[in-house]
Structure 1
Amino acid sequence: MSGTKDLHLPAGTAASGPYLLDVSPATAGWAYSSLRVLRLAPGGSHTYAAGDSEWIVLPLAGGCEVTADGETFALAGRRDVFAGVSDFAYVPRGAEVTVASAGGGRFALAGARCERRLPARYGPAGGVPVELRGAGVCSRQVNNFAAAGVFAADRLIAVEVLTPGGNWSSYPPHKHDASRPGEESRLEEIYYFEIADSPAGTPGAGYQRVSPSGHGSGSDVLAEVRGGDAVLIPDGWHGPAMAAPGHDMYYLNVMAGPDPDRAWLIQDHPDHAWLRDTWRDTPVDPRLPLYGTPAPQGEETDR
């Protein structure tokens, strides 16, 4: 599978039933990674079978209750992805899962085919590490809510990235399409985008580049992306993801793959890796962080 037509999914083109976006291994043509974006009206609910995948329910806008394995987790959620970090719920393979929302909203269901059945559990917003990566016009914020080494899962890795308007992220271009223990992981990846409106309320856009690495199918994408779009990355160098000036960019990364170790190990593009050395003498964009990890209840934070 290669080419913009196959890998860039404009908003609505991969919708199914209650899902604004429905990417599965079957529809993507790969083996592990899934992403659904569920829209619920106020008072609405949806039940689905986890099947052979583990899932994280992550509020994008609004709050909800998640019920699985006889437990119910109340997620406070957030106004939108540009407003703050969210809490989330992990549900295991084989579970029946119900997502219900009194106020309605949109909820990402990030999934990965897996072998182990781990317990259902709650992920507090206050436990999400917020990391600043890059420098200068390559500055971005990463919410590592389900990064490897942060939150336990069998195969699923998921993070959120926020890029201020005018900046480049996922840069230098990098790849993770070969299994090289200790050096590079083999991971299928989904990018799901939301773009902040201008102060006047006009919608914005960004751009995503994926180029052949010499492994696999040789994926090749240069796409204008808007809110609700997704880009599938089975292989190849990916980056930059470019935020248009005046419009902050959000993307949710969902990854999984066949390697025995759950790890995010990347190889930078050899033509662009030198850029990292310049960051030591370049300050991080002062607009970051857009927000930080919320303080525990009763404490204050200056972030």
Structure 2
Amino acid sequence: MPNLLVKPSADHGSLVRVTPESAGWTYVGFEVLKLAPGETAGADTGDREVCLVIVSGTASITAGDLATGVIGGRTSPFEGKPFSVYVPAGSRWSATAASDLVLAVCSAPGVAGARPPRLIHPDTLHQETRGKGTNVRHVTNILPEWEPADGLLVVEVITPGGHTSSYPPHKHDRDDLPAESLLEETYYHRLNPPQGFAFQRVYTDDRSLDETMAVEDGDVTLVPRGYHPCAAIHGYDLYYLNVMAGPKRTWKFYNAPEHAWLLKG
């Protein structure tokens, strides 16, 4: 089993990169790019679809026949909703930074020509608040299952300091619909203020996997299976960008039965 905590390996260009090969799984790929104004990054999608999420900054993005002009504008992922671009398999994308740019590249297996590239405008994004008390967190659905894609599911979550999220513990590691879907998942963590830290535990019922990690600003955690709750400590808000994919594009999770009482009342 690869290390579930992936730390940034650079402070410019490709900051952190997860491939199916490096993660030891089948579906999810994830990369974070940091570009200075005027710098360009791009790639052929090959047999994978891609969702480009502007975490912060501004850029002009092209994908197939799509040219967005300059989009973005957040100075931090804690400010408002993101601009994103969907890029199908069998295509090519390019992003040129108009200001200091942090760009997330989310990918999963796709079907070439299944749908055109498209801009995902923040005004179209569905937001919701989940939980109650110190389990409240704020969710922005970027590429949910009701929007077209082949396999990707992409969502942002902000957890206020002192709160928990992905909690009560739940999992989605069995291909057993309609009860549960099998989805690999990455978490890209950011902290506000950035010197903070948070905790994430990834564990299975039999504890054959049981790892608790202190996550810092810019870290990525892998969830190959099992429950995966997060806790934001007092004074530091936690942002994470989730990427999920599996054999079927639906999010059906199973709550840990010993903690299900937390959902009552």
- Give the Cα separation in 2 of the matches to 1:41 and 1:125: 23
Percent pairwise identity? 38
Corresponding residue to 1:231 among 221, 225, 228 = 221
- Give the Cα separation in 1 of the matches to 2:77 and 2:14: 18
Alignment of 1:121-160 (within 5 A): 121-149=118-146, 151-160=147-156
CA RMSD of aligned residues (A): 1.7
- Give the Cα separation in 1 of the matches to 2:217 and 2:46: 29
Q: Counterpart of 1:257? A: 246
Q: Cα distance 1:60–1:148, how it changes in 2: closer, same or farther (>3 A)? A: same
- Give the Cα separation in 2 of the matches to 1:162 and 1:27: 27
Judging by fraction of residues, say which structure has more strand.
Answer: 2
The reply to whether residue 186 of structure 1 matches residue 177 of structure 2 is no
TM-score (norm 1): 0.83
- Give the Cα separation in 2 of the matches to 1:71 and 1:16: 30
Q: Counterpart of 2:35? A: 40
Q: Counterpart of 1:208? A: 200
Deviation at 1:73, TM superposition (A): 1.6
TM-score (norm 2): 0.95
Q: Counterpart of 2:26? A: 31
- Give the Cα separation in 2 of the matches to 1:222 and 1:99: 35
Q: Which amino acid aligns with 2:13?
A: P
Deviation at 1:65, TM superposition (A): 1.3
Deviation at 1:104, TM superposition (A): 2.4
Q: Counterpart of 1:288? A: none
User: Size of the alignment, in residue pairs?
Assistant: 263
Deviation at 1:227, TM superposition (A): 0.6
- Give the Cα separation in 2 of the matches to 1:159 and 1:68: 21
Give secondary structure in 2 for the equivalent of 1:237.
Answer: coil
The question of whether the paired residues in 2 share the 8 Å contact of 1:45 and 1:101 is answered with yes
Deviation at 1:176, TM superposition (A): 0.3
Q: Cα distance 1:17–1:113, how it changes in 2: closer, same or farther (>3 A)? A: farther
Q: Counterpart of 1:273? A: 260
User: After superposition, what is the alpha-carbon deviation per residue over 1:173-221, rounded to whole angstroms, capped at 9, x for unaligned?
Assistant: 0000001111111000001100001xxxx7100000111235xx94322
Deviation at 1:114, TM superposition (A): 2.1
The reply to whether residue 60 of structure 1 matches residue 47 of structure 2 is no
- Give the Cα separation in 2 of the matches to 1:34 and 1:219: 21
Give secondary structure in 2 for the equivalent of 1:145.
Answer: strand
Give secondary structure in 1 for the equivalent of 2:257.
Answer: coil
Give secondary structure in 2 for the equivalent of 1:238.
Answer: coil
